[in-house]
A and B are shown apart, each in its own frame.
Chain A
């Protein structure tokens, strides 16, 4: 039977011998399917790559246009052929496959969020054990409250510094340094014998919450801007889950150690070794399995001169000048901040108010934090959906609705006197407040293009600040019963959430006002190019911002489609220097 060299796969007769192109196409198709199962091999094929359809071929790079397979020719030395996921021109993944551990992208995602998860476990490990610890160390309510404030305060500074650390060392070393240098602080709980020691150790452990920044940084360099919202929402939410899991894990570990024969006052100290071990193990995994950037590790790439950076003073200046930075700082303080405060106080609250067993209180407290698994990504998703119809205004209203309902249910939780009502209100509260966290980070990428990394870090720090503030005011003294503290915190949260109305973009408007009528200022380009001086614009440094501006025209909502501009796409995070 004659070989048809030009056939494009059309069935001209019943038996059809494949041409070279068709063989390449089918083998790659097969390879893509097989790649789902065997993704650890990253080896580049031989020169006969793909011909026999038995080699493992990995996905081709996404060119952006809808090119048919038959018109796609693959060069066998194409470096993108070695990635398990489809990648863009910067080698960032354009697909998100949560069940895969392929290197470097999905591996980085999993190592990142699990490291963050582990640090959440360590930071809040004391909370479910407070009824035991307060007896052992003779703590007063103020001691407990102050230690809670201390546990979240350290991260205010470490989160701010973490962006710079990742720029210098790469996300891999940044994460590993945090994990393995804070593991000794977790182990040192065995030395604590009074309130002062307890406070110091909780303060030092709290520094490791900066893994939030390193995790988001790592995913931002590994994943394309089209999917970064979902990826970051999952990484953030699943990491935050650690605050819930710890409420379940620590009482269980404590109970098992007691069964093994230890007295309660020794058992809780031994229990802390578990989070310590987890941190060391994760640190080693990050160092051995992780990779800074899709193409390799940072030190190698830096020496090749491939990574460029912006000036920190400029990035800082534009972040500080933008008033929205402060609004977001406060808003996150009353969503994430409240969430972290609850992680610290809720177990003890249920233990004391409803006379529950330690592990029962822990189980209830755990369900608060574990709702993060779906609640935070849900918030991000809701933000994206509302943007599709109403643009940025939709995002702002979504945020306000979610955060305010969180506040309402928090008030209800404080008022609840029966256990079922308390649990119900707590669950609704958790979804509201955690979805609000996701929704805030649906807005953060639009506030600035140049200073995105710093503003993300500042927003994250705001969460810790809010947590420290609410614990200090409501849960550190005997002025309020804990129940009243919860209700008052909910009210304070709702008041601060009104600040959402003040976020105004000249090109998109705000909750109550439309975009500015000024012809020039209502363009996205004007807003993002305003972050560069004339000199820098002349050098063409602002090109990335212009491209970004073009991509985010979808934030005008339905009007964008009728304007005939590019279809709805969330913006790209281009520069690896920005988180």
Chain B
């Protein structure tokens, strides 16, 4: 519960990572707003020609991350330089061992993905599970190649109907008691 500083963990900063070490592309299965749980993303990643630290790469973590427009006025999704505090990437897509050749994965959007605008981001981690480098499917300003997802609403027709039934019951019960009470008072008065 309490934030303990794990020494090295606390100091790991995003700005220390090697930029653009991996070329990542993410192609939605169709145009427009994608539906969570239904639509797919075709994700590919390969080592970039400008990469330098690839000797340390052991595993590649592929994540789904919020674009800035989905972070505006939402401090719980804030991008922080300290990696352990960073909240930009809520969803793990897949984790694969590092391979020099081009990798791909067809990702069906999870049902619990929230409504928002996203891009795909990959971290290259070393044997100690520390992030070393990253790559993302968008540019540095995170403005290109974004895609939107529409989450499930959580609403159900049965819930709506139950809600109406109970509401009507409440109002009717009140009216019945009220009218009854007035009638009794009138009867008492006329006695």
Assembly CA distance A300 to B181 (angstroms): 10
Say whether B170 contacts A180, CB under 8 Å: yes
Which of these binds chain A: B18-26, B38-46, B98-106, B152-160? Answer: B152-160
Most buried by B among A266, A284, A356: A266
Query: B163 is contacted by which of A138, A188, A284 (Cβ under 8 Å)?
Result: A188
Q: B188: CB under 8 A from chain A? A: yes
Q: B89: CB under 8 A from chain A? A: no
Q: A273: CB under 8 A from chain B? A: yes
Say whether A190 contacts B1, CB under 8 Å: no
Measured between C-beta atoms, what is the minimum distance from B163 to chain A in Å?
4
Assembly CA distance A470 to B91 (angstroms): 35
Say whether A287 contacts B170, CB under 8 Å: no
Q: A191-B160, A269-B155, A300-B185 are in contact. Are A184 and B171 (CB under 8 A)?
A: yes
Q: A276: CB under 8 A from chain B? A: yes
Query: B115 is contacted by which of A138, A180, A263 (Cβ under 8 Å)?
Result: A138
Q: B167: CB under 8 A from chain A? A: yes
Residues 128 to 165 of chain A near chain B (Cβ within 8 Å)? 131, 134-136, 138, 140-142
Q: Please give, as numbers and ranges, the residues of chain B lying within 8 Å of A288 by CB-CB distance.
A: 177
Interface size class of B (residues with CB under 8 A): 35 or more
Say whether B1 contacts A419, CB under 8 Å: yes
Q: A141-B73, A478-B75 are in contact. Are A269 and B159 (CB under 8 A)?
A: yes
Measured between C-beta atoms, what is the minimum distance from A312 to chain B in Å?
24
The dominant DSSP class at the B interface is helix
Query: B170 is contacted by which of A136, A283, A300 (Cβ under 8 Å)?
Result: A283
Q: A140-B73, A263-B152, A263-B154 are in contact. Are A273 and B166 (CB under 8 A)?
A: yes
Say whether B170 contacts A280, CB under 8 Å: yes
Residues 156 to 182 of chain A near chain B (Cβ within 8 Å)? 173, 176-177, 180-181
Q: Please give, as numbers and ranges, the residues of chain B lying within 8 Å of A266 by CB-CB distance.
A: 154-156, 159
Q: What 0/1 readout, one digit per residue, does chain A (282-313) give for beta carbons within 8 Å of chain B?
A: 01100110000000010110010000000000
Q: Please give, as numbers and ranges, the residues of chain B lying within 8 Å of A481 by CB-CB distance.
A: 75
Q: Please give, as numbers and ranges, the residues of chain A lying within 8 Å of B156 by CB-CB distance.
A: 190, 266
Assembly CA distance A247 to B153 (angstroms): 24
Q: A265: CB under 8 A from chain B? A: yes
User: Which A positions have Cβ atoms within 8 angstroms of B?
Assistant: 131, 134-136, 138, 140-142, 173, 176-177, 180-181, 183-184, 187-191, 193, 263-266, 268-270, 273, 276-277, 279-280, 283-284, 287-288, 297, 299-300, 303, 352, 354-356, 360, 418-420, 477-478, 481-482
11 contacts between A and B (CB under 8 A): A131-B76, A134-B76, A177-B174, A180-B170, A180-B174, A188-B167, A263-B154, A269-B159, A284-B173, A352-B76, A356-B1
User: Which B positions have Cβ atoms within 8 angstroms of A?
Assistant: 1-3, 72-76, 111-112, 114-116, 151-156, 159-160, 162-164, 166-171, 173-174, 177-178, 181-182, 185, 188-189
Task: Report the 8 A-B pairs with minimum CB-CB distance, sorted nearest first.
Answer: A265-B154, A184-B167, A140-B73, A299-B185, A180-B174, A187-B163, A183-B170, A190-B163
